[in-house]
Structure 1
Amino acid sequence: MYVGIDVGTSTVKAAAFDAAGGELAVAARPVGLALRGGSVEQDMEEVYGAVVAVLGEVTARAPGPVELAGLTGQGDGVWLVDAQGRPVRPAASWMDGRAHALVDRWLADGTVETVFRRTGGAMFPGSPGPLLAWLDAHEPASLNAAAAALYCKDMVFHRLTGAGPVTDVSDASMPFLDPRTRTYDNRVVELLGLAHRRRLLAPVGDPVATAPALGEGLPAGTRVTNGPYDLPACALGAGVTAPGDGLLIVGTCLASLVATTALGLGGEPAGLYISTDRPGHWLRAMPAMVGTAALDWVLSTTGVRHEEVDALLAETPPGAHGVRVLPYFAPSGERAPFVEPRLRAELTGVSLESTKADLVRATCEGIGFAARHCLEAAGLTGTLAVCGGGTRSPAWMRLLADVLGRPLRVVEGEVGARGAVLAAAGRHGVALDTEAWTRPTAVVEPDAGRAAFYAPAYADHLARLAAARDRARA
């Protein structure tokens, strides 16, 4: 039995798999987000407690001893811990917007572009560089008390195994890692004014770190592997490794990933290059802030339940009777395929005749246009897999195929946890049938007529977005 742990932003999951990749058991537990005045924080003890709970549940329900356990989880943010791995303060989430003024300044003075040219990562308010600089200015005592500034899964690995603080090349990719040498770029640390905090950056395990479990949640001695984080883990779990192939994760974050062997640090600074377990292979990532959180806000505001979405999408035609949504609802703006900390959502074309169905369809279409923008910027040329919570809506998957104008290889289940196990197996030389583990559950073909309708609608989306960006910078 193989166990994957996926420490998500709002839900912590564990999944047990057999040797052929079949899911034996899945356990999940929600975790909270504290939003206040632009800050978005998480209680590390709550998160770790949820990890232990779901591991205990899944190992009790699934038969057999645990051969391997692989960890993955949300990226970015800052998880400050002491020498024992205990929290120094609440974790600052990747959704946190407090450092937006810093990012504005670094955008204006060229720091964001300089960092991107060196590391392939375009900073945004919730990435570790800006957050650490903000904490250094406003909460220096927290940094003084910390032994390490970790990423989410690193904190969990530290606690589960008692191993010292460590991260992996995928998490370290934003914003301090040189993607060519796979080591920290100290010049970037200096540019962000953090040279005196350099000690907080955890060592990079390359290949990913592994250590035996202490006995909380997993049987003592179980081999636990730390990494990669959720985006590259999902790419592994969906079988996206060939250059040109892509993955769209329809989750809280709308993440577009394209596998590549070409490191291109030109163009508009946006997204990042994620280093993988194979030197010379990267994922060109456009992890947009827009995602299912945008749809969740519209549903809660209109009083619509998630199970009603498919029926509502059938009630109104493509174009949603003229209602348009720019779905940039995150308090920290947008980070891919451009960085615009002050960008906000816009609803247009709404009248007294507009229905809830129009608002829901327009939001789903807006998210689809954002995905198309990201995938084009990331250089998609091959097949496209899709995973995440959004795949539970067949109607939305059909809409996405139409908006994107290409077939979707739908990969359901716990794709991130699956990828974490595959990474662990690779680390320990355990041979698994990756084709069987990553086989799609369905292929959704676009409708030619609807795809033709959405082509000019996408061009209109880009025009409205350009105008909104101008207003955000005014």
Structure 2
Amino acid sequence: MYVGIDVGTSMVKAAAFDESGRELAVETRPVRLSLHDGFVEQDMEEVYAAVVGVLSALTAVVPGPVELAGLTGQGDGVWLVDDEGRPVRAAASWMDGRAHELVDQWLADGTFETVFRRTGSAMFPGCPGPLLAWLDRYEPAALDAAATALYCKDMVFQRLTGIRATDVSDASMPFLDPRTRRYDNRVVELLGLTHRRGLLAPVSDPLATGQARGEGLPSGTPLANGPYDLPACALGAGVTAPGDGLLIVGTCLASLVGTTDLDLSGEPAGLYISTDRAGYWLRAMPAMVGTAALDWVLSTTGVRHDEVDGLLAETPPGAHGVRVLPYFAPSGERAPFVEPRLRAELTGVCLESTKADLVRATCEGIGFAARHCLEAAGLTGSLAVCGGGTRSPAWMQLLADVLGRPLRVIEGEVGARGAVLAAAERHGVALDADAWTRPARVVRPDAGRAAHYAKAYEDHLAHLHGARTRARR
């Protein structure tokens, strides 16, 4: 069997596949986020214990040797570890907002734009540049005690194999030059981190490989590190050609489009993710909040997830005038624009509004945000969709209508699947990628509803323009 490990923000997963790509079993463990005053952190030991736990459970229920394992996980944030890969403090999550004032400063003085023009990375508060600069200013002892500032999957890889490394995809934000595929020391200098340059993990190009040391996986199991979850999902969904795209409807609403054109002009936003194929990038517009916005509305209104499809059927497109701008993250928004102080807005509500109106308006708002991101990323080809949101058939139909295009729905553990495909490529193991990435179904838009949403999308952009203006005051 082949094993894929996906270390997510709220859930750690391990999936076993056979040679044809059939999913044999999945084990999951939840992990907690600590949120307080804009700080969003995770306990690294809890995350690593969850990884070992899901791997141990998976190899117990699916007998037989593990031919190969691939690792992926959440990107960005700062995971400070010592020489052995053990934490020196809690990990700062990609959702963290503590460094927003630094981003505001860099937006004002031109540093933000300069970094984007050099690396294709539009910084946001939860990416390593601002977080490391904030820690250097307010918690220098933590950086002094650390050997490496890793990304999530890199911490797990070091603990499983003893190897200290990252890959070009994780390193893309914000220090990697996408042309040379090496760290840009001028960017490090611009962020005031030259004296911390040694904390950046070595970039392994191609992917780093190692052998498991017996925790979770049998000792000697070949393991490949990376890419991180967004490009891993692109591989798992079969998005490998220029112009084709992927929408991940998960905690983060991520839009990715394949490209061979490195265009660093235009409004600085999102990032270019380097891949194992030199000269091929993923133009990424990872909006901060996807299903997390709906989760908040459901918990606030007391609605269960299994009620969503029914509620979507109870109210028409437009939700009786209720509108939601779904920018719920404490660190604002990062794609397809950067506004650290932008917050969600709920308008058009009256005493006649229902829970169904609120749910539909939220799903529509997330759809409009996805359309904005995909257009900015340059989508011209087919569109695949994956993530937890795909479990709702009604929401998938709504998304197809809002986006005005067919959706290739990829089910199962897409990130873990992509991690295995990347590991197989790295180790020279021949797998049928078409079979591994075949969609479960295709959802096509309704022409009438798509026409309605095309007009509603223009109204959304106008509403968003006003919200961005207010956020800057």
**TM class by shorter-chain length?**
over 0.9
CA distance in 2, matches of 1:426, 1:46: 31
Asked whether 1:157 is paired with 2:157, we answer yes
Matched, 1:42 2:42: yes
Partner of 1:257 in structure 2? 256
Matches within 5 A, 1:223-238: 223-238=222-237
CA distance in 1, matches of 2:59, 2:236: 21
SS in 2 for 1:135: helix
2:196 corresponding residue in structure 1:
197
1:56-455 residue pairs with structure 2 within 5 A?
Answer: 56-163=56-163, 165-455=164-454
Q: For 1:88 and 1:68, how far apart are their aligned partners in 2? A: 31
SS in 2 for 1:156: helix
Residue 64 of structure 1 deviates from its aligned partner by 1.4
Separation in 2, partners of 1:40, 1:397: 30
- How far is 1:290 from its partner? 2.0
Structure 1 Cα separation of the partners of residues 207 and 72 of structure 2: 11
- List per-residue Cα deviations over 1:227-274 (Å, max 9, x = no partner): 000000000000000000000000000000000000000000000000
Question: What count of residue pairs does the alignment treat as equivalent?
Answer: 473
Q: Distance in 2 between matches of 1:441 and 1:61?
A: 25
Q: Distance in 1 between matches of 2:34 and 2:172?
A: 26
Provide TM-score, normalisation by structure 1.
1.00
Tell me, in whole angstroms, the C-alpha distance in 2 between the residues paired with 1:113 and 1:232.
24
Post-superposition Cα deviations, 1:50-80, rounded to whole Å, max 9, x if no partner, equal 0000001111111310010000000000000
Separation in structure 1 between the aligned mates of residue 158 and residue 135 of structure 2, nearest angstrom: 22
Between the aligned partners of 1:308 and 1:11, the Cα distance in structure 2 is: 22
Q: Deviations over 1:428-461 (max 9, x none)?
A: 0000000000000000000000000001100000
Partner Cα separation in structure 2 for residue 247 and residue 439 of structure 1: 14
Q: d(CA) in 2 for partners of 1:143 and 1:77?
A: 14
In structure 1, distance between residues paired with 2:319 and 2:394: 14
Matches of 1:434 and 1:79, distance apart in 2: 32
Q: Which residue of 2 aligns with 1:21?
A: 21
> Deviations along 1:340-374, whole A, 9 cap, x unmatched?
00000000000000000000000000000000000
Structure 1 distance, partners of 2:466, 2:38, is 24
Q: How large is the Cα RMSD of the aligned pairs?
A: 0.3
One-letter amino acid of the structure 1 residue matched with residue 295 of structure 2? D
Query: Could you give the per-residue CA deviations for residues 159-202 of structure 1, whole angstroms, max 9, x where no partner exists?
Result: 01112x21000000000000000000000000000000000000
**1:293-345, CA deviations, whole angstroms, 9 ceiling, x for partnerless residues?**
00000000000000000000000000000000000000000000000000000
Separation in structure 2 between the aligned mates of residue 451 and residue 15 of structure 1, nearest angstrom: 36
SS of residue in 2 equivalent to 1:130: helix
Give the secondary structure class of the aligned counterpart of 2:369. helix
Residue deviations 1:112-136, cap 9 Å, x none? 1000000000000000000000000
Q: Whole-Å Cα distance in 1 between the matches of residues 119 and 63 of structure 2?
A: 44
Shift of 1:107: 0.4
Q: State the 1:48 CA deviation.
A: 0.2
Q: Are 2:435 and 1:469 equivalent residues in the alignment?
A: no
Give, in angstroms, the shift of residue 402 of structure 1. 0.1
Inter-partner Cα distance in structure 2 for 1:58 and 1:25: 7
| Distance in 1, Cα, partners of 2:443 & 2:62 | 32
- TM-score with structure 2 length normalisation? 1.00
Give the Cα separation in 1 of the matches to 2:401 and 2:289: 19
Long gaps (5+) in structure 2: none
* 1:23 to partner: Cα distance: 0.5
Tell me the SS of whatever aligns to 1:257.
strand
Q: Which residue identity does 1:449 align to in structure 2?
A: G
Name the aligned partner's letter for residue 465 of structure 1: L
Query: What displacement does 1:215 show?
Result: 0.1
Return the alpha-carbon distance in structure 1 between the equivalents of residues 454 and 422 of structure 2. 38
Aligned residue for 1:458, secondary structure, equals helix
**Distance in 1 between residues matched to 2:267 and 2:368, nearest whole Å:** 19
CA distance in 2, matches of 1:92, 1:455: 39
Is 1:4 the counterpart of 2:9 in the alignment? no
Once residues 54 and 314 of structure 1 are traced to their aligned partners in structure 2, the CA distance between those partners, rounded to angstroms, is: 37
**Consecutive unaligned residues in structure 1, runs of 5 or more:** none
